[in-house]
Structure formats: structure tokens, C-alpha cells
């Protein structure tokens, strides 16, 4: 069968106080994994990444039609749900073909999504196996009664055979279908980009996370489990990328450093490949790792710092301290890594003084780049569950904390963002560092200077434009 897999645009500037042009785009791993399993089951698959390809709804519908698609599969997070739903309604009314929706929103809220989205089927959780069985049942005109992970409506009743067991051996899953994505990617976080998208690849080496931070939906998606691919299997994928001319690898696991021994094994085996790579780590990972990852080609390490205030970290159940965070950044800096720290503003337990502690930590640790997120109550998070008990939150969208707590998050965001970036000296030392230790990446990024300046200077205007809760 012919199947179009679609990534709809997301309204995610809102959770970061970002200008939409600053969206970080990387190929959609979930869709590429789904595509490769469908292809090996004999189907003809096309991937449409609407924001990356600059496709509006009309353009995407035309692509689906021109491909003569028999089925459409749409991926949805919470922030892309409303646009996913619009698109699905259009596919159903204009083309009338079966649609399945997968990803975080249907995984966390399957019953709501199957009733509300207009999709025929919602795929709950890991989708590779479910989607193959579901497609077969659609092809044969059978009801997907016993297909675990597939949720659908029968009359007014919801049918769901329950969640599917998670794949026990991630090495058995085929590599993502890179041949189906276009060369239009290459953004590494908010400030760093690669000019030649064909030299960039993202990979995922683990699924899930063993921690339980209150603002994060990741643990719920994989039922609080954590699974790893073998290092050899990950290296094999990277070798394939290298053979195909890719030099920059972004390891987009939530938490690459859960097992320090595994990271060390990875470092030993990746060294000879002459790639530059980037990863996300918790600040409380083994400090011995920074030098090793740096020597093995890692250039950027991204830390979820969240706050410089202990009471806020405790509220988030982050299980770190400001001291641990600061020491991790300093240690990583000493190993010549480019450090990115992600912060969240607006915790209801704190006040402006807590955000000032975050700024202090950012300045004292000498982190190179910061991202400032606005606390958002995503379905699937502990915070969403807690708030929902007090007052039901709207299901169709993410809820910013200012909508429920009336906290002026924009001002707090500005406090940290401007306090950090509006320092010419920091910009000069940052550029010097990147040119000294990361020449290839530095030269790549000089080409993106206008974008970086726009990111830093346009911020104020974007903050002022930030819509009030009721406008969304
Ligand atoms: C990497 C990542 C990103 C990358 C995306 C890279 C990419 N293109 O793949 C970037 C940086 C762009 C990103 C941005 C954002 N992210 Co993010 N991100 C992740 C992360 C860490 C890993 C995603 C991943 O690659 N997983 C691996 C793949 C294989 O799994 P998967 O995507 O789940 O896909 C499987 C199933 O979901 C399903 N499936 C998925 N799509 C489809 C479609 C169909 C048709 C079918 C049948 C099945 C199916 O099958 C797939 C294979 O099993 C997750 C956390 C996590 N552990 O999952 C957060 C996560 C998804 N992000 C999250 C958030 C909040 C965001 C942002 C809003 C952050 C921000 N403030 O900017 C934006 C929103 C982006 C958007 N478009 O919605 C939340 C989502 C919560 C929610 N309820 O929606 C998560 C869960 C983390 C968290 N903090 O809670 N993110
Ligand atoms: S924020 Fe990071 S460490 Fe915490 S639960 Fe989410 S993925 Fe895990």
C-alpha cells in the first residue's frame, strides 16, 4: 500500500518564548523508524515534514494526493496536536482515506484523541509493530480488534486491546529510513547550525528515561522504562552515516549518560570515525566522562539545568543541586566542550529571586549558551496530573503556567535571557572558544551569524508579542 507519513508544524515557540523562525529542526526519528518497518513489510512510503519542507496544509494535501496515498499517518506531540487535527479533518473530508495518528499526544491521551482528532486509528506507544499489523488489517478490510496498541471507534464506543509490550531488543529495530527525508535540516539547538544539511544526522541510542522530573512527559511515554541499543549497533548506524558523507551527529537521547560505562565504550568505538557529535546529559553523570567524550569527538554537551534554586529543583523532582549543575558545566568547559544549559522559568514555588539564582548560576558557571523555557503543563507530566486534580486543564493544547498561576513568565524569561546574552564580552569569548577548539563547527556557524543576531536581538519583540493564554 502507499502510505504518507506526515509531521505537522508545531506551535512550540510559545513554550520557549521564541520567534517561530528559530524552530529547531531535525529529521523526525519516530516517522523514519515507522517508515523503515513499513517499507520492509512491502509498502511504498513517503515522509512529509511540513515545517521543514515549508509545506502548508494545501501543499501537504496535494503531495498526499499526487502520491496516490492509500493511508495517511500523522505524528503528533501536544504542541502539534491542533495542527495535526486540522490536517486530519482535511484529509478525511477532501480525500476520504484512512488516517492513523501516532506519537506523544495519542500515547498519553488515546481516548480523547480518537474521539476528537477525526483519525480512524490512534497508535499508542512504540509504533513499529502496531503500524505494520494495522496496515495489514486495513488492507484486508478487517477490524483491528486484537491489535495491541491500536485504538479506534466502533459506533460510539472506544475499542482498545491495550498497550503493546515494549520491544525488548532495540537492536532488532531497523535503522531509520534516511532515504525518505529531504536535505533541509541541520539545526543544533537554538544557536548552532550546520550550513550543509546533507552532512548532518540525528540518532537515538536509547528509549525512555529512569528519572521522574515533574515537568517531563518522557518517562510516561515508555512506562518509566529505560532501554539501550548496544554500542555496536549505534556505531554501525554512525558508520553508515559516515559512508554517506555525514560528519555531524546529534545524539538526541533524553539522557545519553544514564550508564557512564556505556558512554565510555561508545567513546572508544567512535573515536576513529572522525565525526563531531553532540549529546544531552544530566549534570549528575560521572564527571570523568567529559574529557573522554571530548577526546572522542564530542563538541557540544547539553544539560537540563532547569534552575539555580534548590527549592525549584526539588519542586521539579530533578534530584540535582545548583552546585552539581555548576560543577558539571565547569568541568565540561575545562574539557573544551561547548556547553548549553536549559532553564525553565515560572515555577510556582519560586519568585523572581529564584530566577535571579538561575541567572547567577548561568553567569558563574560560564555556560556558553542558554535556552530559557516557560514552565508548561504537558499532558503526561506529574505537574499536569497535579494541576488537573485541582482544575481540569484543556486537553487539546499545552497549558503555560501563566495561564493557571498568573505568573509573569515573560518578564522572568527576559530577566535570564537578556541578563545572559546582552553581554558583548560573552559573545566575543564565545566566538573565540568555538573558533579555537571547534574550528569546523565555528566556520559553519559564522555563515549563520545573521540568524544568531536575530535570535538575540528579536527576543524582546517576540516576548512582547507573546499571546495571552485565552488567544490560543
Ligand atoms: C529529540 C526530541 C526533540 C527534537 C525532535 C527531533 C526529531 N525530529 O525527532 C526537538 C529538539 C526538535 C524537539 C522539540 C520539542 N520537543 Co521534544 N523531544 C525529543 C525527545 C528527547 C526524543 C524524541 C525521539 O526522537 N524519540 C525517539 C523516537 C523513535 O520515538 P518517538 O518519536 O516517540 O516515535 C515513536 C512513537 O511515538 C510512535 N510514533 C511517533 N510518531 C508517529 C506517527 C505515526 C503515524 C505512528 C503510527 C506512530 C508514531 O512510533 C515511533 C516509533 O516507535 C523526546 C523525549 C522522548 N524520550 O521521547 C522529547 C519530547 C517529545 N519533546 C517534548 C517537547 C515538549 C518538545 C518541545 C515543545 C520543546 C520546546 N519547548 O521547544 C518541542 C516541540 C516539537 C514538536 N514538533 O512538537 C515532549 C513532548 C511532550 C508532549 N506531551 O507532547 C517530550 C516527550 C519531552 C518532554 N520534555 O516531555 N524535541
Ligand atoms: S527531564 Fe531528563 S532526566 Fe528528567 S525525566 Fe525528563 S528526560 Fe529524564
pLDDT one-digit tens code per residue, 5-33: 999 987 655 565 554 444 557 899 999 99
Q: Nearest ligand to the C-alpha of residue 208?
A: 1
Alpha carbons 352 and 312: distance in angstroms, whole number = 12
| CA 427 – ligand 1 centroid, Å | 31
Does the CB atom of residue 216 touch ligand 2 within 6 A?
Answer: yes
| Coil, helix or strand at residue 103 | coil
Task: Name the residue at shortest CA distance from atom 40 of ligand 1.
Answer: 103
The model carries a pTM of 0.94
231 compared with 22, residue with greater pLDDT: 231
Number of H helices, E strands in the chain: 22, 19
Secondary structure letter of residue 91 according to DSSP: I
β-pairing verdict for 226-228 and 248-251 = unpaired
Closest CA to 404 of 373, 376, 385: 376
- Predicted confidence band of residue 461 (pLDDT cuts 50, 70, 90): very low
Residue 184 vs residues 12, 53, 75, 396, 450: alpha-carbon distances, Å:
19, 7, 19, 29, 19
Residue 201 vs residues 27, 30, 54, 118, 207: alpha-carbon distances, Å:
8, 14, 20, 33, 18
Which residues, judged by CB distance below 6 Å to any ligand atom, belong to the binding site of ligand 1?
A: 5, 10, 12, 15-16, 24, 26-31, 33-34, 73-75, 77-80, 100, 102-105, 107-108, 123, 126-128, 131, 204, 216-218, 221, 252, 254, 373, 378-380
Q: Which three cell numbers stand for residue 158?
A: 472506544
Residue with cell 517508515: 35
* pLDDT on residue 22: 44
| CA 320 – ligand 1 centroid, Å | 24
- Would you say the C-alpha torsion 236, 241, 245, 249 has a positive or negative sign? negative
Q: Which atom of ligand 1 is nearest to the CA of 218?
A: 86
> For residues 280 and 304, is the Cβ–Cβ distance under 8 A?
yes
Alpha carbons 113 and 48: distance in angstroms, whole number = 21
β-pairing verdict for 150-154 and 121-123 = antiparallel
* pLDDT on residue 456: 67
> For residues 309 and 354, is the Cβ–Cβ distance under 8 A?
yes
260 compared with 198, residue with greater pLDDT: 260
- Ordered domains of the chain (ranges, CATH): 2-160 (3.40.50.280), 190-471 (3.20.20.70)
Q: Nearest ligand to the C-alpha of residue 258?
A: 2
Concatenating the DSSP letter of every residue in 45-78 gives EEEEEHHHHT--HHHHHHHHHHTT-SEEEEE--S
pLDDT one-digit tens code per residue, 110-155? 999 999 999 999 999 999 999 999 999 999 999 999 999 999 999 9
Does the CB atom of residue 383 touch ligand 2 within 6 A?
Answer: no
pLDDT at 402 over 80: yes
Alpha carbons 209 and 225: distance in angstroms, whole number = 6
Alpha carbons 14 and 435: distance in angstroms, whole number = 32
Residue 460: CB atoms within 10 Å: 13
Q: Which atom of ligand 1 is nearest to the CA of 123?
A: 47
Q: Nearest ligand to the C-alpha of residue 284?
A: 2
- Predicted confidence band of residue 309 (pLDDT cuts 50, 70, 90): very high
pLDDT at 248 over 60: yes
441 compared with 342, residue with greater pLDDT: 342
Alpha carbons 45 and 128: distance in angstroms, whole number = 14
Alpha carbons 68 and 85: distance in angstroms, whole number = 21
Residue 375 vs residues 13, 202, 305, 384, 386: alpha-carbon distances, Å:
13, 26, 13, 11, 14
| CA 428 – ligand 1 centroid, Å | 34
Task: Name the residue at shortest CA distance from atom 7 of ligand 2.
Answer: 254
* pLDDT on residue 463: 37
- Predicted confidence band of residue 438 (pLDDT cuts 50, 70, 90): confident
Does the CB atom of residue 281 touch ligand 2 within 6 A?
Answer: no
Closest CA to 207 of 233, 225, 231, 234: 225
Q: Which three cell numbers stand for residue 257?
A: 549518560
Q: What percent of the chain has pLDDT over 90?
A: 69
Alpha carbons 324 and 393: distance in angstroms, whole number = 34
pLDDT at 370 over 60: yes
> For residues 88 and 34, is the Cβ–Cβ distance under 8 A?
no
- Predicted confidence band of residue 68 (pLDDT cuts 50, 70, 90): very high
Task: Name the residue at shortest CA distance from atom 31 of ligand 1.
Answer: 30
On average, the pLDDT of the chain sits at 89
Phi, psi values for residue 396, rounded to 5°: -80, -5
Alpha carbons 123 and 394: distance in angstroms, whole number = 22
Q: Nearest ligand to the C-alpha of residue 380?
A: 1
Amino acid at each position: 500500500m502507499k502510505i504518507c507519513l506526515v509531521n505537522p508544524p508545531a506551535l512550540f515557540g510559545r513554550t520557549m518564548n521564541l520567534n517561530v523562525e528559530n524552530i529547531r529542526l531535525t529529521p523526525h526519528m519516530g516517522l523514519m523508524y515507522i517508515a523503515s518497518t513499513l517499507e520492509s513489510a512491502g509498502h511504498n512510503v513517503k515522509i512529509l515534514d511540513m515545517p521543514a519542507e515549508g509545506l502548508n496544509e494545501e501543499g501537504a494535501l496535494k503531495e498526499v494526493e499526487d502520491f496516490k496515498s492509500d493511508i495517511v499517518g500523522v505524528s503528533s506531540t501536544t504542541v502539534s496536536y491542533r495542527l495535526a487535527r486540522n490536517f486530519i479533518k482535511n484529509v478525511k473530508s477532501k480525500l476520504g482515506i484512512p488516517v492513523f495518528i501516532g506519537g506523544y499526544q495519542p500515547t498519553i491521551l488515546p481516548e480523547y484523541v480518537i474521539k476528537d482528532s477525526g483519525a480512524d486509528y490512534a497508535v499508542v506507544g512504540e509504533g513499529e509493530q502496531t503500524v505494520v499489523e494495522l496496515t495489514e488489517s486495513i488492507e484486508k478490510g478487517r477490524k483491528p480488534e486484537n491489535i495491541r496498541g491500536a485504538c479506534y471507534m466502533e459506533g460510539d464506543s472506544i475499542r482498545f486491546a491495550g498497550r503493546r509490550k515494549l520491544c525488548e531488543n532495540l537492536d532488532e529495530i531497523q535503522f531509520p529510513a534516511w532515504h525518505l527525508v529531504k536535505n533541509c535540516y541541520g539545526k543544533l539547538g537554538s544557536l548552532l547550525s550546520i550550513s550543509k544539511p546533507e552532512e548532518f544526522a540525528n540518532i537515538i541510542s536509547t528509549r525512555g528515561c529512569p528519572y521522574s522530573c515533574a515537568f517531563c512527559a518522557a518517562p510516561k511515554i515508555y512506562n518509566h522504562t529505560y532501554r539501550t541499543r548496544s554500542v555496536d549497533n549505534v556505531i554501525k548506524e554512525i558508520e553508515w552515516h559516515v559512508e554517506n558523507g555525514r560528519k555531524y551527529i546529534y545524539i538526541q537521547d533524553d539522557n545519553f549518560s544514564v550508564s557512564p560505562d556505556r558512554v565510555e565504550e561508545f567513546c572508544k568505538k567512535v573515536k576513529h570515525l572522525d565525526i563531531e557529535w553532540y549529546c544531552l546529559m544530566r549534570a549528575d553523570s560521572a564527571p570523568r566522562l567529559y574529557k573522554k567524550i571530548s577526546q572522542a569527538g564530542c563538541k557540544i554537551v547539553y544539560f537540563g539545568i532547569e534552575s539555580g534554586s534548590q527549592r525549584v529543583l526539588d519542586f521539579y523532582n530533578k534530584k540535582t543541586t545548583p552546585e552539581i549543575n555548576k560543577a558539571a558545566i565547569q568541568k565540561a568547559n575545562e574539557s573544551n566542550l561547548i556547553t548549553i544549559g536549559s532553564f525553565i522559568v515560572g515555577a510556582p514555588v519560586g519568585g523572581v529571586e529564584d530566577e535571579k539564582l538561575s541567572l547567577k548560576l548561568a553567569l558563574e558557571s560560564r555556560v556558553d549558551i542558554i535556552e530559557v523555557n516557560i514552565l508548561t503543563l504537558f499532558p503526561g507530566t506529574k505537574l499536569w496530573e497535579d494541576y488537573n486534580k485541582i482544575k481540569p486543564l484543556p486537553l487539546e493544547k499545552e497549558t503555560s503556567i501563566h495561564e493557571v498561576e498568573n505568573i509573569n513568565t515573560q518578564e522572568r524569561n527576559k530577566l535570564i535571557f537578556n541578563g545572559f546574552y546582552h553581554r558583548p564580552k560573552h559573545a566575543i569569548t564565545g566566538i573565540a572558544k568555538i573558533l579555537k577548539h571547534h574550528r569546523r563547527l565555528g566556520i559553519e556557524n559564522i555563515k549563520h551569524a545573521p540568524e544568531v543576531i536575530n535570535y538575540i536581538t528579536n527576543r524582546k519583540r517576540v516576548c512582547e508579542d507573546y499571546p495571552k493564554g485565552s488567544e490560543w
